[in-house]
Structure formats: structure tokens, C-alpha cells
Structure 1
Amino acid sequence: MIHRISILFSLLLCLSAAVAQDFGRSQRVLDWLQQQKGDSVYALCNAEMKAALTAQQLGGIYAQLVRQAGTENGRGEWERTVVEGGIEVDGIRLDFSQTSLMALLSWNGEGQLCGLFFRPTTPPQTVAIGGAENREVQIENGKIFLPGTLTLPTERKNPVALAVLLAGSGPCDRNETIGPNALLRDLADSLAIHGIASIRYDKRTLVYGSACVEISGGMDYDKEIVDDALAALQQAGALPEIDTRRIFVVGHSLSGMLLPRIAQRATTPMAGIIALSAPARPLAEVMKEQMNYLGRLNNITPTEIDSAYRAALAPLPKEYLKFDSKYRPLRTAQQLTVPMLFIQGGHDYQVRQTDFQLWQQALGKRPNVDFRWMPTLNHLMAESPNMSRPDDYATRQLIAAPVVETIVDFIGRH
């Protein structure tokens, strides 16, 4: 299975229109997925779904879920939600031996399957720590309202430094939940222990789902990540507990790549940017590299990989791909004077050493730019004995201590 289910199907759900039929049809689709009857599911898909996924790929979805979540033990009750534009989404909880997932199936008025998405139903197990106070906040950006969390050190006498924490691609929640893992929540808790506050929030692609494109007036990197990050920065600067001279932005994966653009557009003063596993190349190029790696793991032919690659790009809006092809993160970063920190793991199959080296070549001579290569870390900034693979994310992993220490040191020096 080439695609990361949580990302690809999330994009399909966010970027496609859907109207549901009855629960019986949704039930049959789940049963067919379990029975690996990809042809039966494919026959019900609309044109966009058929362009994005083959019958063979649909037939392999359930096996991928079992590898990541364990044996299915039971199912909950079907629920129906009506969203923007009359879209109806059928959802049901699937209980596996290692975790529970919510299956969401969307249907259009012609009875065609338009969206398929699996997401965690419960937050990952909390890391037992002290010294953190969490407050619910809301990031407001015009007509966009995003629920979030402000994490403060419990013991503070003076205004403290703050980091705005940004998740990567896809409809991520504020914790950047991937299976039992929560990179941004773990980072927020760890920073609080060291006296550093943070803000994180649910992305608009999660909050507004399939209505996101219409509400946003299109979809590109600015609308997906940058605009809301700027709104969060502005709100952070108004908090009485925060030292406004020491506001940083931490971006993971795609958000890390967009940090130079965020810094370029920011009107709120920034003390520094911190990029974790940040690509330096266009999404299309990085995605092709990921698929080649996963294809080799699964003995998929180059022809099948190329077909899957083109299918994965097909659902994305033209303006999204146009933005991706024109954005120059290295050139944008070279125009900045703000301090920067780049951290990259050597066992990250999603963002490779090539990207880290490109950042170094572009910025390595700057005295206020730091680089940390950590050979055994994966994309989630956790220890991994070998080059990582998607199944690894089904295991609870904690952010590596050297990552936290490096970030804390960087913030302390600026």
C-alpha cells in the first residue's frame, strides 16, 4: 500500500464534495474492504476517487489498517453528519486490538462514494509530567475559527518565551495525532517543564473538513497553513503571560518548509524559527521519492508506482500544485535575518538528508542559523533503529530528548 491512509484520504475528504446514501451502503463498503473486494468498492466511486485510487489499492486498505491497528474487535453505531453544501458523511467507530478508528464515508447525490477517511477516535495516552497548565483557546482568522491549546509553565514569575507549534500536511489536530503518537502535544509538555509556553491548534482542514475549500476560497499553502499561523502569532503577542520579544515558531514537515514564508509575511516580531523534518524541495518531488521507497518495500513495480503518484496528485486543486511549484523556500529563507534552527533525522523516509543538505548549502554560513543532524531519528523526531516505514507509527513513540534539549537551548540563546 503506497499511500499513507491518514493523509491521502484526509485530502480526498477535504477536497471533494459528497452526499450520503443509507447506512446499508456504507456498511457494505466496509464489509467489502474487510473482504479485500476492491473491485466492488471501486465500482461505487466517483470519478475523482477512481482517479486517485485503483481497485487494487482499495482492496489493500483494510489489511493496512490491521497491520497498523491490530485485529478488529467490534464496531459502534453508525452516525450521519450533514456539512457544508448538503454533504452527508456516515461515520462508525472501529475497535481494533491496539486502538480505535473512526471510519468516515461520503456519498454524492448520484450514489457514488466520494470520500473515505480513517482517523483516531481518542487522543493518545498522555505523557505523565508536571509543570504544565493547559488552557483552551481559539485562533480567529476572519471567518475561520480554530480550537487550540495554550500550554503554560505552572511556575512562572515573569513573562515567558512562547513557541507557536505547527503541524504538517493533511487535516491534523492540534497534537498532530498519528496513530498513538502526538508529537506537538509531547513537545508542548516538554517545553513547559523548561519554562517555555506554547500554542497549538487544530488545522482548518480538520475543523471544516469537506467544506474547507469553499470556506477558504480555494486551497494553497497560505490557506492551509500560513494564514492561520500568522493569526496565531498575532494572538500570542497579546497574551499577558508572554514575553513578546521571545516568540518563536516551530514547524514540522510541510509547516517547517513554510516557516520562511511565515517569517517573511509576519507583522508580529519573531525571535526565531525552528524547522523539524522540513522539506526543501517541492511537494511533488518529495512525494515521488516517498512512493519509490514504499514501492520497494512492498515489491510494487515502477509502472504501478508512477500510476499511484499521478493518482495521488490528481485530487489536489490546481492552485495548490501551482503554489507548490512556485514557492522557493531556500530563496525565501536567504532573505531573512531571523535566527533559525533546522533538525533532521537520518531514519526519516518522508524527508531525506537531501533536503537537510539543501538548507545547509543555502544558509550554512549564517552565524545565527543552527543545524542538527540526528542520525537515528524518524519523521516524528523519535528514535528508530532502522530507516522508518509507515507501520512504525502504530507504536507509541516519544520525541527524543536531544530534540527537546536542542530547541530549549536555541530558545534560551535568542
Structure 2
Amino acid sequence: MTVPAADGVALAGTLTLPADPGPHPAVLCLPGSGKVDRDSNAGRVRMDLGRPLAATLAGRGIASFRYDRRGVGATPGDWHAVGFLDNRADAEAALHALRGHPEIRPSAVGVLGHSEGAVHAMWLAAHARPAAAVFLAGYARSGEQALRWQGTRLADTLPRPIRPLLPILRPFAARQVTRLAATTTDTARIGGMRINARWWREQLTYDPRPDLARIPVPVLAITGAEDVQVDPGDLDVIAQLVPGGAETHQTPGLTHILRRTDGPASVFSYRRLLRDPVDDELLDTIARWLATRIR
């Protein structure tokens, strides 16, 4: 399935339908940040979230749509020049297209996002009135505050031989963020690398809390207790801000990449953890919750 963005760019994706005849309830699935495709894969870093999530939802009678980001997979464009707000606008366009599909029941379309996608799902839940919303590892503070928390948490998980370098690494990282915030172009060279500067500027300044406070639909928010990229404590903020309350789960052992770990949380374990599939219990929890809210 290909859907038109607001500026006419064709967002290429996959519409997964249940075996039973439609029209079906459906969910728009939004990936995390980075140069990711419809299955949340970025090159050799393969989250492989899209297919098992779609299959689990279809097993509960729920259709789903997921798509390649601009400049990734079958969607044209320059990924480096795409902003955070562009990603949000594309998500809104995809939601509109999904509601208009003949196999989909327009009044029964929800949104689900992971990481950056969860933050866009918060905005959609407040402004586009989906039937329900699921936030996986979504933060509830400004992007800059979320980045600073992440930096501190990641520093705590560094191997011991590297920790003596922290007094040098921290000021260096702070300078790079300051340089990014001061840019005015879509892309910039930072540390010799081409960076999607506009995405960074927009992400650092956006704060989802005002949108959380105006969400009128049911919300499920899940963050792993072993997430080192998003503060699991933000679940409490989400529950407090959503007017009707939100069902929240801080899942023991679950990491940001939606796999469980038996050891200390660390991004250095991601390569090993990604050999396993996305946590089955997580997928089942999501599908069961959605099946009772978007019928």
C-alpha cells in the first residue's frame, strides 16, 4: 500500500489484513528514530518489529499499516533532510489514508508508536482523534530533557575501562548538542558527519506533555524497566496527564529494543539481544488491549 504525504511524496508500506472479511479495525504503526524502514530496521540494526506485530494484531482481527520513512526502502527522499515535524505530518497523512481504505472501518483506527513513533502517536492521539493509542517506550518531557537523561543513563552503563573518559566525553557531547541547536539548515556537518540537523532541532524543542493533557481516547503505555534510552518513570507522568488516565506497564527485564534481558541493562547488549525475536508477551498484551478498544 502506498499513501500520499501532504507534499505528494508516496509513502510505501504494508497493509496487513486479518483472514476474515472486512471492513476491519486497524492500527497505524510508527517506528522509532533513525533511518528505519517499515519493519523498524536500519541497515544491520534489525529491530524486526513490524512483521510479528502485524501478525499478532491480525490474529486478533485487527489490520495494521506500517511504512518506510522518507529516503528509506521504497519511499523516495533524502532521509538526512527530513525533520521531526515532517515525520509527524507523514504519520498524520498515513492515518488519514488508513481511515479511507475500503477494507478498514474508519471509526475504529488506532495508533501505535515505538520511541520517536510513540511521541508522534501522542500528538495524533490529541489532535487526530484515533480510537485508541499505544505508546511503547515514549518519553514525557522535552526532547532535550529526554536526551540528557539518556546520556546520563548510557554513561552509567559504559564498560569500566571507558568510564575514566567521561569527564572528556560529557563536555564534548554537550558542545555537539549546542552546535546542532544553533544550526539553521536541514543538514549539517558535525564532527565530520552529515547530520539531519532540522530533525534534531525540532526534536529537542518538542515537549509532548501539553498534548498528553488533551488526549480524549484510551491509552496504553509500556516501557521496559531495563530501558536505558527512555526513563521508565515517565509512565507516571503519562498516567497523570492523560485526562481519562492511562493503563501503564513498567515491564521487568524489558529493554528499549523490546527484548528482555537477564543481566544489567546496556546498549552493548543490543547486538546479542537482537538475535531473539520481539518479546511475545509484549505483543500479546498490546493485541489483547487493542482488541477491546477498537472494535
What TM-score bracket applies, with the shorter chain setting the length? 0.7 to 0.9
Partner residue, 1:222: 85
Partner residue, 1:276: 136
> 2:270 pairs with 382, 393, 409, which one?
393
Partners of 2:209 and 2:134 lie apart in 1 by 15
Give me the TM-score of the superposition, normalised by structure 2.
0.81
Give the length in aligned residue pairs.
Answer: 267
Partners of 1:355 and 1:362 lie apart in 2 by 11
Task: Name which structure has the greater RCO, CA cutoff 8 Å, separation 6+.
Answer: 2
> 2:256 pairs with 376, 379, 386, which one?
379
SS at match of 2:66: strand
Q: What 5-or-longer segments of structure 2 have no aligned partner?
A: 185-197
Q: Does 1:301 align with 2:163?
A: no
Alignment deviations for residues 249-281 of structure 1 (CA, whole Å, 9 cap, x no partner): 101101212222223332xx5111110000112
Q: CA RMSD in A?
A: 2.4
Q: Does 1:366 align with 2:231?
A: no
1:38-57 equivalence runs, <5 A = none
| Alignment check: 8 A CA contact 1:180 1:394 kept | no
SS at match of 1:247: strand
Please tell me the residue identity of whatever aligns with 1:247. V
Partner residue, 2:15: 150
| Alignment check: 8 A CA contact 2:143 2:207 kept | no
Partner residue, 2:188: none
Partners of 2:259 and 2:104 lie apart in 1 by 29
Query: Which structure dedicates a bigger proportion of its chain to strand?
Result: 1
Partner residue, 2:111: 249
1:140-289 equivalence runs, <5 A = 140-141=4-5, 142-153=7-18, 155-177=19-41, 179-206=45-72, 207-208=75-76, 210=78, 213=81, 219-223=82-86, 225-266=87-128, 270-289=130-149
**Distance of aligned partners of 1:355 and 1:382 in 2 relative to their CA distance in 1, 3 Å threshold:** same
Alignment deviations for residues 140-185 of structure 1 (CA, whole Å, 9 cap, x no partner): 11232221111112x2133221111101112211100152431223
**Distance of aligned partners of 1:413 and 1:325 in 2 relative to their CA distance in 1, 3 Å threshold:** same
Where does structure 1 differ by over 6 angstroms across 4 or more consecutive aligned residues? none
**Distance of aligned partners of 1:274 and 1:211 in 2 relative to their CA distance in 1, 3 Å threshold:** closer
SS at match of 1:243: strand
SS at match of 1:314: helix
Shift of 1:198: 0.7
Give me the TM-score of the superposition, normalised by structure 1.
0.59
Task: Give identity over the alignment, percent.
Answer: 27
Shift of 1:328: 3.0
* Pair member with larger Rg: 1
Partners of 2:147 and 2:80 lie apart in 1 by 23
Please tell me the residue identity of whatever aligns with 1:384. T
Q: What 5-or-longer segments of structure 1 have no aligned partner?
A: 1-136, 214-218
Partner residue, 1:411: 290
SS at match of 1:353: coil
Alignment deviations for residues 346-367 of structure 1 (CA, whole Å, 9 cap, x no partner): 011011223222212323x725
Please tell me the residue identity of whatever aligns with 1:394. R
